[in-house]
Amino acid sequence: MIAGRMGHVLSIALVAVAATGCGRTAMSRFYTLDSTATSDEAPTVSYAVMVGPVSVPASVDRPQFVVQVAPNRVEIDEFNRWAAPLNDSIARAVAGDLSVLLGTPDVAVAPLASFNPVYRVTIDVQRFESVQGQTVLVEAVWAVRQVVRGNTRSGRTIARESVQGDGFDALAAAHSRALAKVSVDIAAAIRAEGGR
């Protein structure tokens, strides 16, 4: 009887240890989008710019990475996640890129109290696709609106970037580079509008 109880307790202890070991191997990793634009040596501007709102497709509007595995199939990776909501991360990456491209520190992410922008940038990301170890695609429709006069310039940028590695950090880096291409087009629109 005692040997039976000891065996039962030992079995429970082994199951608990195995479960703990499994939990440790499945730890989540968190990723960010970074500003990667480099200055093109164009003259700096003195305009204050606010970025936002940014909208993203419902299919990727989640903490987890959504990876394309076939033409009509995706996988949601539970253990590789964005550190912040994707729309917020995109806005911050684009704001950082615009600050470099325009040569001004006066670029902020909406909403921000007591910040009076000359231009507001809105971005509708229509495609945000990730193919692990291959490519990422960002397709965005954006608008630059002059706050006082209401003049608006809009455009569409399709940016495809090769993924330089197999991991999720390489996917995040490729998306950052793709967003820098979107930012280059937005910066050009701001400069063109400012020259009118």
Residue 5 pLDDT grade (very low, low, confident, very high; cuts 50, 70, 90): low
Q: What is the structure's pLDDT at 196?
A: 55
Q: What is the rounded average pLDDT for all residues in the chain?
A: 89
Q: What is the structure's pLDDT at 195?
A: 60
Q: pLDDT, tens digit, for every residue of 168-187?
A: 999 999 999 999 999 999 99
Q: What is the structure's pLDDT at 41?
A: 82
Q: What is the structure's pLDDT at 25?
A: 60
Q: pLDDT, tens digit, for every residue of 87-97?
A: 999 999 999 99
**pTM confidence score:** 0.86
Long-range contacts of 37-40 (CB under 8 A, 24+ apart): 37/96, 37/97, 37/98, 37/100, 37/101, 37/180, 37/183, 37/184, 38/100, 39/100, 39/101, 39/103, 40/101, 40/184
Q: What is the structure's pLDDT at 79?
A: 97
